């Protein structure tokens, strides 16, 4: 099966060669996942320097939900890696979601990781995601052990797709991103703790905020409350707009006893 997939990819690469979404260059010496956004173009993508409250979208330290906004969402905060307005970012997300190109999960995950590590001061979000993290500097070969979060275990949950949507796309883009993030920060992915019980309309096709909220209402169910209880949860998705999906996931997780629930996305439209 894997050999057949390699042959198909080779044929497709000959007929439709991969070009970098930024500079349009072809890099035949690189793996396909490294060619959709070349390293030079990846470095040029600006990560978000200041995070905002997910509700009012005003400046907030590290994307934490303002106390005055906390009654409007179950999310404790939202970390957004970069801006959707950048053509290379919106193009990559579009091809990832609608052209079913799995390999784009690699450059998008690099953007997520860069945004988390490149800030000058770590906040609440970094305390959660870096609870088990240690990194080796390429320059000075020094191991840096980040402060461990001793209050509660942190786990990653990708925003789930309904079974019909998953079968149509062939993969869950949030899960593919989660694999890279979990590997980098030494965290567990709990893919099956939260499930999508309703086959809702795609949120991208609904313009009204109220309709989006109604569309996604009660669409998620926790399958094992014991594994959620007292945990810190990081919900991962590729993109968000009104927060309806992330907020609905957070509502179900908080109902099951989660301590903190944060969202992590590549961009917000």
Domains recognised in the chain with CATH numbers: 1-44 (no CATH), 47-268 (3.40.50)
Distance CA 29, CA 111 (A): 22
Residue 138 or residue 260, greater confidence: 260
What local confidence, expressed as pLDDT, does residue 3 receive? 59
What SS3 state is found at 258?
A: coil
Distance CA 51, CA 122 (A): 12
What local confidence, expressed as pLDDT, does residue 17 receive? 84
For the ranges 98-112, 141-155, 253-267, which has the lowest average pLDDT? 141-155
For the ranges 17-26, 54-63, 140-149, 173-182, which has the lowest average pLDDT? 140-149
Bridge partners (DSSP) listed for residue 47? 82
* pLDDT surpasses 70 at 202: yes
Under the banding of pLDDT at 50, 70 and 90, the label for residue 147 is very low
Are 227 and 257 in contact by the 8 Å Cβ rule? The answer is no
Burial (CB count <10 Å: 0-12, 13-18, 19+), residue 125 = buried
CB atoms within 10 A of CB 50: 10
Under the banding of pLDDT at 50, 70 and 90, the label for residue 13 is low
What local confidence, expressed as pLDDT, does residue 239 receive? 97
What local confidence, expressed as pLDDT, does residue 125 receive? 97
Of the chain, the percentage scoring pLDDT greater than 70 comes to 87
Under the banding of pLDDT at 50, 70 and 90, the label for residue 150 is very low
Q: pLDDT (tens digit, 9 = 90+) per residue, 41-84?
A: 999 999 999 999 999 999 999 999 999 999 999 999 999 999 99
Under the banding of pLDDT at 50, 70 and 90, the label for residue 161 is very high
Single pTM value for the model: 0.88
Residue 239: which of 101, 128, 97 has the closest Cα?
Answer: 97
Under the banding of pLDDT at 50, 70 and 90, the label for residue 136 is very low
């Amino acid at each position: 099966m894997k050999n057949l997939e390699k042959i198909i990819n080779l044929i497709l690469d000959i007929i439709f060669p991969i070009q970098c979404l930024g500079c349009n260059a072809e890099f035949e010496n690189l793996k396909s996942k490294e060619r959709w956004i070349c390293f030079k173009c990846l470095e040029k993508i600006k990560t978000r320097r200041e995070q905002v409250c997910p509700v009012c979208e005003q400046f907030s330290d590290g994307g934490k939900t303002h106390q005055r906004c906390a009654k409007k969402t179950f999310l404790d905060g939202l970390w957004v890696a970069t801006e959707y307005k950048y053509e290379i970012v919106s193009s990559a997300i579009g091809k990832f979601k609608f052209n079913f190109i799995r390999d784009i999960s690699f450059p998008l995950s690099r953007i997520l990781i860069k945004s988390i590590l490149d800030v000058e001061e770590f906040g609440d979000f970094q305390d959660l995601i870096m609870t088990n993290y240690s990194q080796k500097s390429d320059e000075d070969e020094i191991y840096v052990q980040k402060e461990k979060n001793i209050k509660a275990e942190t786990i990653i949950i990708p925003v789930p797709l309904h079974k019909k949507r998953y079968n149509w796309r062939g993969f869950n883009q949030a899960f593919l991103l989660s694999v890279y993030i979990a590997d980098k920060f030494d965290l567990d992915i709990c893919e099956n703790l939260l499930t999508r019980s309703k086959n809702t309309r795609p949120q991208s096709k609904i313009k009204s905020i109220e309709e989006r909220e109604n569309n996604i209402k009660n669409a998620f169910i926790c399958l094992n409350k014991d594994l959620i209880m007292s945990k810190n949860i990081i919900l991962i998705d590729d993109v968000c707009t009104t927060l309806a999906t992330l907020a609905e996931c957070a509502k179900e997780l908080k109902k099951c006893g989660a301590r903190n629930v944060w969202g992590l996305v590549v961009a917000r439209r």
